[in-house]
Amino acid sequence: MVRRTLGGTRRVPSNPAARENVASGGKYTLGVTGLNISSLGFRSLKEVSDGDIIIKFNPNLCYVNSVNWTSIFRANQQDKISDNRNPDLCEADEMTCDSSCSPNGCWGHGPSLCLSCQAFKRGKECVSSCNLLKDEPREYIGNGEKCLSCHEECLQMNSTATCTGQ
């Protein structure tokens, strides 16, 4: 993914932690300015380890005000977010986080772009429930929040859990 930043054009890291300083002087770890984008789309960004972020002058950018930046900062960092699309206009156009996203916000439209899930996660998407008692594939809850498929040899049971993951 390429973004124009204060220090020029650079690749935004696709790994879960953005650690590259992209602006001269190392002040900003992440800069997104002057782009014609509607969402950031950072599916795997989970942590900003060092440096501030600046997201400005993106006239169509929604969702950015939903992000709880302090939840992904690891130090005493700041976010400078301004002059993007008016959040009221985003809401009027239904460019808001999916209902399955947690209050930490989202990077864009749909349950696969949540920073974290309100309830459970199936693969890369947030969901409101796991298929414990009905529907396919039958699942169990692993790690407290993940819907994981039962082993194919587990016999499907009705109105009771098919498997436990043990």
CATH of residue 138's domain is: 2.10.220.10
User: In terms of domains, do 83 and 13 share one?
Assistant: yes
User: In terms of domains, do 85 and 145 share one?
Assistant: no
What are the average pLDDT values for consecutive 10-residue runs of the chain, which has 166 residues? Answer: 40 42 62 96 90 96 97 91 98 98 98 97 97 91 94 85 83
Q: Residue 15: beta bridge partners?
A: none
CATH of residue 72's domain is: 3.80.20.20
Report the pLDDT value the prediction gives residue 160, as an integer from 0 to 100: 85
Asked whether residue 80 is assigned to any structural domain, the reply reads: yes
User: In terms of domains, do 29 and 85 share one?
Assistant: yes
User: In terms of domains, do 13 and 65 share one?
Assistant: yes
Report the pLDDT value the prediction gives residue 50, as an integer from 0 to 100: 86
Report the pLDDT value the prediction gives residue 110, as an integer from 0 to 100: 98
Tell me which residue range forms the domain holding 146.
Answer: 129-166
Report the pLDDT value the prediction gives residue 15, as an integer from 0 to 100: 38
Report the pLDDT value the prediction gives residue 26, as an integer from 0 to 100: 63
Q: Which of 97, 114, 146 marks a domain boundary?
A: 97
User: In terms of domains, do 49 and 90 share one?
Assistant: yes
Asked whether residue 107 is assigned to any structural domain, the reply reads: no
Q: Please give the structure tokens belonging to residue 120.
A: 């459970």
Q: Please give the structure tokens belonging to residue 137.
A: 């594939």
User: In terms of domains, do 92 and 140 share one?
Assistant: no
Asked whether residue 67 is assigned to any structural domain, the reply reads: yes
How many domains, the chain? 2
